[in-house]
Structure 1
Amino acid sequence: MTNDALVKTSVTLLGLGAMGAALARAWLAAGHPLTVWNRTPARAAALAAEGARVADSAAAAVAAHSLVVVCLLDDASVEEVLAGTELEGKDLVNLTTSTPAQARTRAAWARERGARYLDGGVMAVPPMIGVPEAGGYVFYSGSRELFERHRETLGVPAGTTYVGEDAGFAALHDVALLSAMYGMFAGVAHAFALIRKEDIDPASLAPLLADWLVAMAPSVHRTAEQLRTGDYTKGVASNLAMQVAGTPTFLSTAEQQGVSPELLGPYFALMRRRLAEGSGEEDLTGVVDLLVR
């Protein structure tokens, strides 16, 4: 660690959008000396009143402290903002949303400029930052030594989960989890659409739906084990053939209720394709292999 029990690590933060401002307030509340910079200076005014030092340029902010955290709009913004700064010897932590490929390229870019690099994927919305009980956390990947050095400081705004030396892994984990979330939202949207024209209060369906999703969630562990072993028939309760046979009922119900099948249709098509190519005794896990090009 670079700090002891009495001295908190100083932090430079570039970017004061909703997430950046939340990060800033969490570090200030915990007593960390903080220097901030934002392209639009007015956004820094409130933080100055709360104890932050406002730099007049990104270069001045980077020069202020060894630990530099970046939370900007996109990867292009990161390159643009840091282009005129001196990164030699800096610990650069990039919390800007990016793709795995962008993160890997940015890590190499930082190393060429003499900086140590960590990439982060924030699994939280701004109101969760600085609120431990909210359960928000950040995936980190890149230099393990750098992560360990600043683990305590990085853990102030949200929990920390290190996922590997490959700088792209934080972004990959981030997008993987969010992709699953959107898949869930798609299923929820279809479920509510089915009852939309009926005399059914959506509020009465909501707890049933939430409980059902929670009950189904542990199936991800079975899928992971099947992918790891290559045995897609292990632990199967309702096999692929049985589930494909049931899909016409879902499509007919949607048609009868006046609901578009466009959310379910592509998944059912993959199920049918896998059945045609593989074993009907499998689980649904084979769909994963169809998606990998």
Structure 2
Amino acid sequence: MKYETRAAFGFLSPWLIGFTVFMAGPMVASLVLSFTDYDVLTSTDFVGGDNYRELLADPKVRTAIANTLIYTALHVPVTMAVSLALALLLLRVGRRSAGFFRTVFYLPTITPKVAVGVLFLMLFNGQAGLVNQALGVLGINGPDWTVDGPWIKPGLVLIGAWSLGSTVIIYLAALQDVPRDLYEAAEMDGASPWARFRAVTVPMISGALFFTLIINTISALQTFDEVYTAFYGSSNQQTYGNDAALFYVVYLFQQAFQFLHMGYASALAWLLFLIIVVITLIQVRLSRRFVHYEGGAR
């Protein structure tokens, strides 16, 4: 083996060891456990595909998948649209001001998700929440966001806007990389601002849009912390418990750490992995029609 190759593996070894111990190893272990009846406290029994047959017949699984997919379908477009709007606004401010606002928009992303869950209860409380108080000033009778099933997921989508700063930064970087001469040429041709946005801006940042679509979709499908804190914490279970807030990872967590159905939870985890892979492959397939790369490569 050449010296350069050995040196490369030497530098890569911390990541390779970490990946093997903390990712690849647990994934293989969970795959094995998904074919067993394992509850941590007693011996492990091999049950074949029973866990997978059980989850296919479990109505809670269908409810959790439906809730998670609905939330994802709402959350991802809202996050991308609001982030793009904010990035376009930042593009118009001065360089010094842009640095300040980039920091302001990004800081909430480092807020612990547990704190975001508590913030959700404070802002969206049906009786004393700040959101309903603001709606009351406008003469609107706000819904009971934390109890009324149809409003739980929209409320979570709105609170999710608290942490869209990283998407804003990505879009801003993409917008700053768009050649100015393309806008000038379009303006000389008489294109309206909307036409310039549609024909120049969107194609030129389509790579960033596609990247954030993938990342935000995967993140939304794995939503857990803020939902569990708001609806399934020990003090909230009876007050706010509602199947409309039963997200997939929440149900997986309950099976694993509340009921100690580790084998069943492992099967749930692999089903989620399969769902994410399928959705991602569909998005990649569709992206070939919409994502533009310089030089025409796709």
Q: What TM-score do you get using the length of structure 1 for normalisation? A: 0.27
More helix by share: 2
Considering Cα pairs closer than 8 Å and 6+ residues apart, tell me whether 1 or 2 has the greater RCO.
2
More strand by share: 1
